[in-house]
Amino acid sequence: MNDFAIDIRGLTKKFGENIVVNNLSLQVERGSVFGFLGSNGSGKTTTIRMICGLLMPTSGTGRCLDLDIQNDSEEIRSRIGYMAQKFCLYEQLTVIENLRFIGEVYQLSDLDDRISEQLKYLRLENYKDRRARDLSGGWKQRLSLASCLLHSPEILFLDEPTAGVDPKARKEFWDYLHEIAIEKGTTILVTTHYMDEAEKCTNLAYINQGNLLYTGTTTGIIPFSKIISYVSDIQRQQQAWMTSEIGRRYPAVTTSFVNNQLRISSRDQEILNEILERYPDSQFTRVAPSFEEVFIGLIS
Ligand SMILES: Nc1ncnc2c1ncn2[C@@H]1O[C@H](COP(=O)(O)OP(=O)(O)OP(=O)(O)O)[C@@H](O)[C@H]1O
């Protein structure tokens, strides 16, 4: 058996003349929580749809659970769970009715036990008779996750599962993802625009306009990026003025306000040295780059 839950080689997707995914190769280890990152429109959903057998690639090959993504799409779909960006359940049905409906579609034999397990693990028991339309965003997202897990998928694809969800609910959701990856060996491929969530993944791929910029461990992306960062405690008025001046003079440098400090980052140490010399009163100190600086730096 292949060690990889997902193994794609040179996958390309064109819509007309528009190359949306370009010669993409990725391997996702079984049991990993794999973050699939990239700015809006960079081709993440398109790639996921090809891996799930929902969309034919223009060229390239791929295996998902050791099945061919072009020829075995039906079997792939029966063994994976896919939580799309949009809430896809029935708003007028209750939580339990939604789960029962999904279970019947999958023709699951021990449905009551499976529903009880999901209600318990996702702490949905108190909400089981509430209509989906009356749930808040965080609870809707748990219900979506429960419905994707009902048939015990071997891989779970989650497309921006926590967009608009509050930090506590997002944390609980992520704790649960790690729990199922560890306890059940489920492979999870998740897209997110939240940097704190990217840091929670075991492995990452980062794409831009359909091209792969990085794939590897989560900790490996910082040294790979070669981004260098400095921070200064200067006054707020000065920060605004310096940000616009640095932005104008040094387009290759990223500036940001974090924790009431001015941060500058770039891959070019010479340019950063020039800034340190130009603004000696700012007393910049070197710090580890943040994930945000790394991701922005890699595409600039
Ligand atoms: N069926 C289609 N026909 C034509 N163009 C499409 C189609 N589906 C997607 N695209 C285009 O492909 C590009 C990539 O879209 P995709 O949804 O894969 O990006 P994404 O990385 O998932 O974006 P986001 O983070 O905003 O969800 C976009 O420019 C989109 O408009």
Q: Which tokens go with 180?
A: 């199922």
Alpha-carbon distance of 250 to 278, in angstroms, equals 12
pLDDT score, position 287: 97
Cβ of 20 below 6 Å from ligand 1: yes
Q: What is the DSSP string of 138-199?
A: HHHHHHHHHHHHTT--SEEEEESTTTT--HHHHHHHHHHHHHHHHHH--EEEEE-S-HHHHT
Q: What is the residue extent of each domain of the chain?
A: 4-219, 225-299
Q: Tally Cβ neighbours within 10 Å of residue 257.
A: 12
Ligand 1 atom closest to the Cα of residue 38 is: 21
Looking up tokens 């023709």 gives 107
Distance (Å, rounded) from C-alpha 156 to C-alpha 285? 42
| Candidate CATH numbers 3.40.718.10, 3.30.70.250, 3.20.20.140, 3.40.190.10; the one for domain 225-299 | 3.30.70.250
Decide whether any atom of ligand 1 lies within 6 Å of the 44 Cβ.
Answer: yes
Query: What is the torsional sign of CA 189, 195, 197, 198?
Result: positive
Provide ipTM, 2 decimals: 0.97
Pocket mutation for ligand 1, best pick of 12, 19, 44, 299 (most atoms within 8 Å of C-beta)? 44
Ligand 1 contact, 15 CB (< 6 A): yes
**Is the beta carbon of 42 within 6 A of some atom in ligand 1?**
yes
- 11, 14, 20: residue to mutate for ligand 1 pocket, most atoms within 8 A of CB: 20
36 CA → ligand 1 middle, Å: 14
The pLDDT score that the predictor gives to residue 163 is: 85
CA distance readout (Å), 17 to 14, 21, 46, 51, 179: 6, 12, 15, 21, 43
Output the residue whose Cα is nearest ligand 1's atom 29. Answer: 41
- Residue 223: per-residue pLDDT: 96
Q: Closest Cα to atom 6, ligand 1: which residue?
A: 15
Q: How far is 140 from 137, CA to CA, in rounded Å?
A: 5
Domain 4-219: give its CATH code. 3.40.50.300
Question: How far is the centre of ligand 1, averaged over its atoms, from the C-alpha of 40 (Å)?
Answer: 8
- What is the pLDDT at residue 2? 66
**Closest ligand 1 atom to the C-alpha of 39?**
25
> For 105, which DSSP code?
H
Residue 236: predicted pLDDT: 82
Q: Give the pLDDT confidence score for residue 1 in this predicted structure.
A: 57
Task: Answer whether 195's CB lies under 8 Å from 35's CB.
Answer: no
- Whole-number Å distance, alpha carbon 18 to ligand 1 midpoint, is 10
pLDDT for position 111 = 95
Residue stretches of the chain with pLDDT short of 50: none
Residue 8 Cα to ligand 1 midpoint, Å, equals: 19
